[in-house]
Amino acid sequence: MDDDLRYSRAETLDEALDFLWRNASETAVLAGGTDLLVELREGNLRCRHILDVSCIPDLKSVHASGTELHLGSCVTFSEIAASPEVQHLVPVLKLASRTIGSLQIRNVATIGGNVATSSPAGDSLPALLVHDARVVLRSLHAQRTLPLDDFLLGPYENARRPQELVTHLVLQGYQATFHDFQKVGRRRELVVARLNLAVLANKDDNGRIADLRVALGSATPRPVRIPEVERFLVGEVPSERLFWEAGGVLSRKMVEMSGRRPSTPYKERAAQGLLVRTLCPLLDHPSSPGFGALAQEVNDPS
């Protein structure tokens, strides 16, 4: 770490924005520090100032406005997991939050940090995408709002300008009778996801899938919704065969977006199995004996 590095803590949003306006190109924003401190220690980041925004009250609020949820960027994953508003409006984000790191990590790691790091494996991102999250960015003189899908540009790249702070995220509540977040990794805890998947779904009175949202992470340059899978399944009566076929659509789309790599044969099968496993509860009569075992067969063999 650079010995000349200067640490400043902003007490208010205006103070932080003013600081960034004057020092943007030399400043790294610090929230929980769980990504930033690793980058600094490994010498991957060159900057003169660290601006700590973690105590700014404006960035720590969670509130519902009609069917929308406003989440301050410095809300931690432990706070998200415990929030009644999150549980009510966007419960899939609660599931995702509970899988992040360990309790110690969740107590400090923030949603804004996860979004601003823009890792392909960021676990909150698929859950935010199925809720049409928008990212609110502020600089001293302007505010703009981008759909998360436009904010994420590629692996660890996003549309934030140096003088901007992510102030909050706005999520669209979505009444879904079924929601789930699933993650595949080498261990249960403290693991970078090799695949993650968020799903929201409703069935109609005839048992058909009436609407569905699917977002995949870790397997593509940035987490994305997969409309091809959504279109494939909507209007259909759930069946095991249908879900395996949908899994095939998902893995083909994944390969189309990321190209073939040494890990592709594993990821193709894992993505297919992960979708089937996730959608399983939508079946009226799960399961032929081998089905559950096959759908579980998504653990990393390496």
- Residues lying near ligand FAD in the complex (CB under 6 A) are found at 28-36, 38, 53, 73, 100-101, 105, 109-110, 112-114, 116-117, 122-123, 160, 165-166, 190
C-beta closer to ligand FAD: residue 34 or 83: 34
Listed in order, strand segments (DSSP E) in 86-203 are: 134-138, 143-147, 152-154, 157-158, 165-172, 178-184, 195-203
Least separation in angstroms between residue 230's CB and ligand FAD is: 23
- Distance, CA of 18 to CA of 215 (rounded, Å): 36
Nearer to ligand FAD, 72 or 247 (CB): 72
Nearer to ligand FAD, 114 or 251 (CB): 114
CB of 190 to ligand FAD, least distance (A): 5
Torsion of CA 78, 80, 82, 88, to 10 degrees: -160
Minimum distance, C-beta of residue 286 to ligand FAD, in the bound complex (Å): 29
| Closest to ligand FAD by CB, 29 or 270 | 29
CA-wise closest residue to 184 among 194, 172, 198, 169: 194
Nearest to ligand FAD of 87, 107 (CB atom): 107
Nearest distance from C-beta of residue 20 to ligand FAD, angstroms: 9
Which of residues 40 and 249 has its CB atom nearest to ligand FAD in the complex? 40
Q: How far apart are CA 121 and CA 135, in angstroms?
A: 18
Cβ nearer to ligand FAD, comparing 38 with 237: 38
Spell out the alpha helix ranges (H) of the chain.
13-23, 36-41, 77-82, 84-89, 91-98, 103-106, 111-117, 124-130, 148-151, 227-233, 240-258, 264-279, 289-296
Nearest position to ligand FAD, beta carbon: 113
Please, what is the minimum distance in Å from the beta carbon of residue 29 to ligand FAD? 4
Pairwise CA distance, residues 31 & 188, whole Å: 25
Query: Residue for token digits 């502020």?
Result: 138
**Measured from the CB of residue 292, what is the shortest distance to ligand FAD in angstroms?**
26
Compute the distance between CA of residue 200 and CA of residue 177 in angstroms, rounded to an integer.
Answer: 8
Q: Measure the CA–CA gap between 280 and 239, rounded to whole angstroms.
A: 9
Residues whose CB falls within 8 Å of the CB of residue 243, separated by 6 or more in sequence, listed in order = 275, 276, 279, 280, 283
Closest CA to 149 of 162, 132, 136, 137: 132
CB 93 → ligand FAD: shortest distance, Å?
Answer: 12
